[in-house]
Amino acid sequence: MIRTTLRIKSELGLHARAAAKLVKIASRFESDIKLLRLNGDIQVDAKSILGILLLAASKGTELELVIDGKDEEAATEALVELVEDRFGEEQ
């Protein structure tokens, strides 16, 4: 199991387009992938766009990424890169 803390850097936060990118990448992996909001009780499946949107993660929100499975290292690397790259958006 790998746990990683992420901070949303995008000016627009984790909005619908960014959430769709996250779900698309997470869905490529067999591992169980969860996102937890660090300042609340919300835990969601990272392969569910509705779950991701429920996080209401604006810029600066800290999330914990929890990945468990045989491809957890590759999944962690891909998802951390996506968030660090601001979901491929300029803002």
> Which residues carry out catalysis?
15
Residue ranges in the chain assigned as alpha helix (H):
16-26, 49-54, 72-84
Q: Which of 11, 31, 13, 12 is nearest to 77 (CA)?
A: 31
Bridge partner residues of 3 (DSSP):
66
- From first CA to last CA, the distance across the chain in angstroms is 32
Distance between CA 19 and CA 10 in Å, rounded?
A: 12
